[in-house]
Structure 1
């Protein structure tokens, strides 16, 4: 390996399985010291009593790397703070935060319960904000003390957050919020030496396989040849974003699937018509029709 992130201290949340596990192993293989965070939850967020993070740490150590386990709940304010403290206590500093933890409670909006909405928004959106907030406070303190900061935050959005996904309104809304949180944080933290980017990955995980139907079939591993849906395909971009080479890249969302990397282009000003005065309601119909005729067609919602 190239040692692209030699001696950088990295936190990966939800790193016990799937994409998070692949990130942790990839960072370690490139020389990073890794805090492997996972609470051992099931696909729906329920406690399982398992400790997959310990298995990931054991793999890293067996390969000659350095890693420690953390079992804090990233969506708990004190837990997120303790996660950042764990990196500082074990390794003396923090350079990279990879927010990856999440789960699903899928249901059509008309049948979704308040608890199903709150639980998913909590772990995805609040779980990203809480860890980001405590890490940013540490880096701001370092910068104000005159110490050099070259830090990275990599968030995890989703195609569902960028285009929507039928039956996943809670998840899609949370992931859309994460994309915007990334842009917001990049603007606010750049003066402290922190870049903030996000990925929207497509890979085979417990969540995608658990979705069933056509999605599960599309995510199935091929019998031979390149496995485009392997979680390990996502991690090289994340490792690079966590390196010192990416210092000029911030506020971006990248879609990544197999061997394909795409820069997502979000909300921007489109066609405009300015009357120079207040519109009358009866005038609006032809105006909107004209604007829509000039605008790009939206990407279809998944499952529509």
Structure 2
């Protein structure tokens, strides 16, 4: 298990735990009481750290290398999953994945950003930064779900849409804007969940829905703390201050009424117990679908438009 800098007290306790277990195996002595004592200390220390997390520390947790990504959740939640590929125009964008999955005998269209689990896969997945064809693939799959009257769940985890020249040449902004327009008008229930990073238009491109949720240790913002720091201070050294000022955590988003609710994570983060996190996520998804499906499509669309129209603050001046 990997630990972040602010988790070092927990790391030290884990080291003690391993030494005690090894000593017990070597000497054939019962160390179960000591093991339970250290495990309780670990739980208490995690609880103490969790209650004092800063915005920047939550950003770090959202990027934890052991944190589960879209496919990891789908594999844990679905009995069957059929991944669908390609935008039928350019190519198959590996940074955006999607397909039909089966949860509790219900077919759901899952779409989400996918980061790599190692260096080779990160390059293949482009670090979760989708090109225009990724967003066009996502839209194609949404329309397919609408055709067969299946609910849609999007899992958001991206540092942003790919900013390369070739992406702009192929219409990155248009692809994202098209998704925003089309998602508002979808006739099936749409549930959007931020499972890691939710940066800028890259997140918004699959982020318009009837229910918007965020996992506890995630962030959602127009820009990352590092990029904000580099623009305002010409240096990444102020990223912690930028994170605080951006108000980008799940708690901030809930207070601004930009999301509907916060999904709790296991103590220490989703990466500590991915199975538990997936089970929790599955429960929230099924509950949201049960609430949304009885609503007539026209009313659901009206509520969706009204929901996003209420966001933000403005003043009319004569």
TM-score range, shorter chain: 0.3 to 0.5
Structure with greater helix share of residues: 2
